[in-house]
Amino acid sequence: MRVLGIDPGSRITGYGIIEKVGNRLVHVDNGAIYTDSHKEFALRLHRIFEGLCRVIAEYRPDAMAVEQVFLAHNAQSALKLGQARGAAIVAGVNAGLTVSEYTAMQVKQAVVGYGHARKEQVQQMVKSLLNLPEIAQADASDALAVAVCHANSAGMKSILRSIR
């Protein structure tokens, strides 16, 4: 199973692609989509959407996982962040992907084993789990963590669905 993890942001949207092969997690790629804060916000959302559409077309993931972000410095920031998440989700749905959402606490629990882990602990564990030569750029590392969370949670979700 190939998973595209997304760490949404209106300035920087991180992405990370991993593949689950048996019990192993394999790093495929990661990066970030940068938007120009001087441009019209609608154009920035379009850049996020188009950038993720290109990533999806190139790597053909089986699923997309997006972090649910609730922290914002003010209402305007929260609205912009929500719109960036929406652009990312629509890119996935538009490509026919199943999109799952995880809270920061769920991601930390799945990656580190502790829901209140520090960002540095998560980044170090992502590096270790995926055998990366160095810690990825912050937004890309967060996206890889979301992908790892989904890869580790997807099996459990399907088991729960089958017993309902």
Q: Would residue 19 show up in a list of annotated catalytic residues for this protein?
A: no
Q: Per the residue annotation, which of 29, 58, 67, 120 is the catalytic one?
A: 67
142 is in an annotated binding site: no
Is 62 catalytic? The answer is: no
Residue 134's identity, in one-letter code, is: E
Residue 67 marked as a ligand binder: yes
Residue whose tokens read 């089958």:
162
Question: Rounded mean pLDDT of 57-66?
Answer: 98
The token pair that represents 54 in the structure block: 């290109």
Three-class secondary structure of residue 19 per DSSP: strand
Fold of 2-163: Nucleotidyltransferase; domain 5 (3.30.420)
Residues 92-108 have pLDDT tens digits of: 999 999 999 999 999 99
Check the annotation: does 134 bind a ligand. Answer: no
**Beta carbons of 59 and 26 less than 8 angstroms apart:** no
Catalytic residue among 19, 120, 139, 142: 139
For residue 130, is pLDDT > 80?
yes
Which position has the higher pLDDT, 37 or 161?
Answer: 37
Which is nearest to 30 in space by CA: 135, 143, 120, 106? 143
Query: For residue 74, how many C-alpha atoms fall within 13 Å in the half-sphere facing its CB?
Result: 1
Cβ burial of 78 (10 Å; 0-12, 13-18, 19+) is: middle
Cα 15 to Cα 35: distance, rounded to the nearest angstrom: 14
- What's the mean pLDDT in 56-78? 87
What is the pTM for the complete model shown?
A: 0.92
Residue 139 bears catalytic tag: yes
